[in-house]
Structure 1
Amino acid sequence: MASASAAKKEASDPLVVLEQFLPYRLNVLASLTSNALAQIYAERFGLSIPAWRVIVTLGQYEHRAARDIAPDGVMHKSTVSRAVSSLEERGLIVRRPNLEDRREELLALTDKGRAIYEAVAPEALAVEERLMSVLTREEQHTLVGIIDKLTAQARSLAPNTEEENGA
């Protein structure tokens, strides 16, 4: 009888335990981290996650075409377009002609947009530092390498997928 009971229990065991499933766990981590960051730039500056990603990208690269922001921020083109329109209406970014390709415009931060970037960036880095503080320096280095490998592998598994997750 004990073996029949054990067989029945095995048959009813879940195939996937969500809380142990790596993609789910990574998504939870990304969501929690993103929510912590969103509190900073949403409450203080009224920025959405996509808008913050556009500002950070322009702060990092000085100017970019909108089509180049989508892959950098892992966002859909329509999400980038809405964020760009909102930021432009608020006077945080400007469009300039691309002298190398007249079919597109380059986006750049205005002085007001740069001030927001410079105000929020140190706070975002502080959140990152607090998150990573539970790891040793060696673990931090290892984690960065692991994330790079997993990101490359995930891109190869779904090369044409555009997602909208995280900060």
Structure 2
Amino acid sequence: MPTPQRAKALQLERSLLYHCAGITNRVGGSVHALCRERYGMSPAAWRVMAHVGELQPITAKEIGLRAAMDSVNLSRALGQLDGLGFVQRHIDTTDRRRIILQLSPAGQAVYDTVAPLTVKAEQTLLAELNAQERATLRELIRRVWERSRELFDSDESETTY
């Protein structure tokens, strides 16, 4: 028996979230596979390593805010990086409650290998766009990112959307 016709609320072919997830899975998949197979890192651990590598010294709290990661996943990723010997933790000399994160020499070597691959993947992905289109895309993505922070980083995120 056919079901009654319902209005389509979700149109995947037009969904920003669907397309972003698909791009991440396709392009990030090869980087994630390398991280997992060669270095034993999860995709979340690579995301954390990327933040530490680019912004060190940095705290876990700062990474969580920048990467939009919850504390459980962040803690798990940091534990993995720590267990692999890729990250070093130091007590902040100006505020002993803060733990500062930096890459170990081994972690820096991994970062120096993987980071250029992610840059190359992005360049390949955007190669069909001209400079103005790339700049526009980056600006639009930055604005959507900021809007997502406004809507979903608050304590009231469940009622915002």
Normalising by structure 1, report the TM-score.
0.81
Is structure 2 residue 149 aligned with structure 1 residue 152? no
Structure-1 residue corresponding to 2:124: 130
Structure-1 residue corresponding to 2:60: 66
Root-mean-square deviation (Å):
1.9
CA contact (8 A) 2:91 2:98 kept: yes
- Partners of 2:103 and 2:81 lie apart in 1 by 9
| Residue of 92, 106, 121 corresponding to 2:100 | 106
**Deviation of the 1:12 alpha carbon:** 4.5
**1:93-152 CA deviation, whole Å, 9 max, x = no partner?**
111111121112111111001010111111111111111112122211110111111112
Secondary structure of 1:91's counterpart equals coil
- Partners of 1:31 and 1:76 lie apart in 2 by 20
Normalising by structure 2, report the TM-score.
0.83
Aligned length: 151
What is the one-letter code of the residue matched to 1:135? L
- Partners of 1:78 and 1:126 lie apart in 2 by 31
Max Rg structure: 1
Q: Percent identity?
A: 28
What is the one-letter code of the residue matched to 2:105? D
Q: Which runs of 5+ in 1 are unaligned?
A: 1-10, 162-167
Structure-2 residue corresponding to 1:80: 74
Q: Which structure is higher in RCO with an 8 Å CA cutoff and minimum separation 6?
A: 1
